[in-house]
Amino acid sequence: MPALVTPPAAGPPSTLTTGHLGGLAAELAAGRARDLLAPLVFQPPGTTRLAGAPPAVARADLARALAVANASYGHPGAAELARRLADPATAVVVTGQQTGLFGGPLLALVKAAAATRWAETLSAAGQPAVAVFWMATEDHDWLEVARATVLTAEGPLTLALGDDPAPLAPVGLRTVGPHVAAALDELALRFPAAWFRAWVERLSDWWRPEARFGEAFARTHVALLGARAPLFLDSMLPELKAAQRPHLAALVERRVEHARALEHREAELVRRGLPLQVTPQPGASPLFLVRDGQRRRVEWRGADRFALRGLEGEHPLEQLRATIEENPAAVSPGVLARPALQDAVLGTALFLTGPGEMAYLTQAAAAHEVLGLAPPTVALRPHALVLDMRSREHLDGLGGTLDELLAHPEALAARLAQRGGGGFVGAARAEIETRLEGLRAPAAGLDPGLERAWERTRESVLRALEAFAHKVDAAAARRDETAAHRLAQLSQLVRPGGRVQERELAAAWFAGRWGETFGARLADQLDLDARRLSLVDPG
| Residue-wise pLDDT tens digits, 239-290 | 999 999 999 999 999 999 999 999 999 999 999 988 899 999 999 999 999 9
Cβ contacts of 22 within 8 Å, gap of 6 or more: 355
Q: How far apart are CA 248 and CA 333, in angstroms?
A: 8
How distant, in Å, are the alpha carbons of 45, 173, 499 from that of 532? 9, 38, 19
Cα–Cα distance, 278 to 120 (Å, whole number): 34
With both helix axes pointing from N to C terminus, report the angle between 255-271 and 355-371 in degrees, rounded to the nearest 10: 140
Spatial distance between the Cα atoms of 474 and 199, rounded to a whole number of angstroms? 39
Q: For position 420, what pLDDT does the model report?
A: 62
Question: Count of domains in the chain?
Answer: 2
pLDDT of residue 14: 53
Q: Is 280 within a domain?
A: yes
Residue at 521 is within a domain: yes
Q: Is residue 228 in a domain?
A: no
Residue after which a domain boundary falls, among 278, 310, 338: 338
45-74 residues labelled b (16+ CB within 10 A) or e (exposed) = beebebeeebbebebeebbebbbebbeebe
Round to whole Å and give the CA distance between 247 and 87.
Answer: 21
Domain co-membership, 520 together with 418:
yes
Residues 434, 293 share a domain = no
Domain shared by 391 and 486, yes or no:
yes
Instruction: For residue 95, tell me if it sits in a domain.
Output: no
Residues 522 and 418 in one domain: yes
Same domain, 390 and 313: no
For every residue of 57-91, which 3-state class applies, written as one string? CCCHHHHHHHHHHHHHCCCCCHHHHHHHHHCCCCE
Domain end call among 338, 363, 395: 338
User: pLDDT under 70 in the chain at which residues?
Assistant: 1-20, 418-423, 477-479
Residues 393 and 471 in one domain: yes
pLDDT confidence of residue 233: 98
Has residue 393 been placed in a domain? yes
For residue 13, the model assigns a pLDDT of 43
Considering the chain, what percentage of its residues have pLDDT values greater than 70?
A: 94
d(CA 155, CA 489): 8
Residues 302 and 399 in one domain: no
Residues 392 and 531 in one domain: yes
417 and 494 share a domain? yes
Report if residue 305 sits inside a domain. Answer: yes
342-375 per-position pLDDT tens digit: 999 999 999 999 998 998 999 999 999 999 998 8
**Residue 470 pLDDT:** 80
End-of-domain residue from the set 279, 310, 338: 338
How far is C-alpha 172 from the geometric centre of its chain's CA atoms? 20
* Residue 144 placed within a domain: no
pLDDT by residue (tens digit) across 231-252?
999 999 999 999 999 999 999 9
Hey, how many other C-beta atoms are within 10 angstroms of the C-beta on 209? 12
70 within 8 A of 83, measured Cβ to Cβ: no
Residue 456 counted as domain residue: yes
Same domain, 402 and 526: yes
pTM: 0.86
Note down the domain range covering 295: 243-338
Q: Are residues 273 and 393 in the same domain?
A: no
The answer to whether the beta carbons of residues 175 and 209 sit under 8 Å apart is: yes
* pLDDT at residue number 9: 31
Same domain, 314 and 254: yes
What pLDDT does residue 12 have? 41
